[in-house]
Amino acid sequence: MSEQPEVSHATVDDGVARLTWTSDLTERGWQAAVDVVRRQVADALTEHERVEVKVAIDDAEAQRIATWSGLRREGIQRGRTGDVVVYARLVDDVPVHEPGGFRALLNSFLPRKRGIAQMLVRDETGGDASVDDEPRVLMCQLTYKADWDLPGGVVEVGESPRLAVSREVEEELALEIPAGELVLTDWLPPWGGWDDALCLVFDGGVHPASIADQIVPQAREIRSAAFLTLAEIDERAADFTARRVRAALASLAGRGPAYSESGR
């Protein structure tokens, strides 16, 4: 009986081949393994439109081999017996030796950070953060959590954060307020099932308090919106949100840094 090959592929669906390899391959070292796997990928793509491999999420060496064999990381497949990382290559992917193909390969596995854009809008009653009068800040009561928050939302893939925050304010509050300068970059650590994120707070300017009467809340996400004092924000918002508002106001007035971590 012949020995099992170190790496092989088998058809698992119409036009789809799946690679498997033995521990003998990884023991040869990742560079030698990459040469073997790369040839197997090319062979599989002569008869299939897609070739993939699934490796354990804690197997860093196998992930390295898959990556440098030209397979793009597609994501995590969860399973009861353990999560796996899915890598794949399509027959019409740009070759890795070409700049566009190499960039696409890097883009598939390099870290990505979630972006959130929010707007700091004040009313004319103490709305200028450079004076001693206490500012009132526009805040939203959300439908999906008890805490109030600054208007804004998640930045879409490929979207400018500055445009994103104006879009969110218009969609959720029916207010057309162009975003001004970036006031604060606030890093949010992992929390409550969320990955970490960067929150960018843009200056929304000072407006008459009467604009609150023009607000039409998007029913799916916004219960209400109002200008609140800092004391009211402390009562209604999460502590890290209250800290972010104060940090943004301090930065706007030149009394604090333009970067914070969870508002600190």
Residue 79: inside a domain, yes or no?
yes
Q: State whether 213 and 227 are in the same domain.
A: yes
**b/e 168-194 (16+ beta carbons within 10 angstroms → b):** bbeebbebebebeeebbbbebeeeeee
Residue 156 is classified by DSSP as P
* Cβ contact 114:198 at 8 Å: yes
pLDDT tens profile 9-25: 999 999 999 999 988 88
Q: What is the pTM of this model?
A: 0.81
Number of separate domains in the chain: 2
Task: Return the residue matching tokens 């969320």.
Answer: 194
Q: State whether 90 and 143 are in the same domain.
A: no
**Which of the pair, 132 or 246, is modelled with greater confidence?**
246
What whole-number distance in Å separates Cα of residue 63 and Cα of residue 242? 41
What whole-number distance in Å separates Cα of residue 62 and Cα of residue 29? 10
What whole-number distance in Å separates Cα of residue 57 and Cα of residue 78? 10
Last-in-domain residue among 109, 128, 157: 109
Full domain range(s) for residue 52: 7-109
The pLDDT of residue 40: 95
pLDDT tens profile 214-236: 999 998 999 999 999 999 999 99
Q: State whether 49 and 177 are in the same domain.
A: no
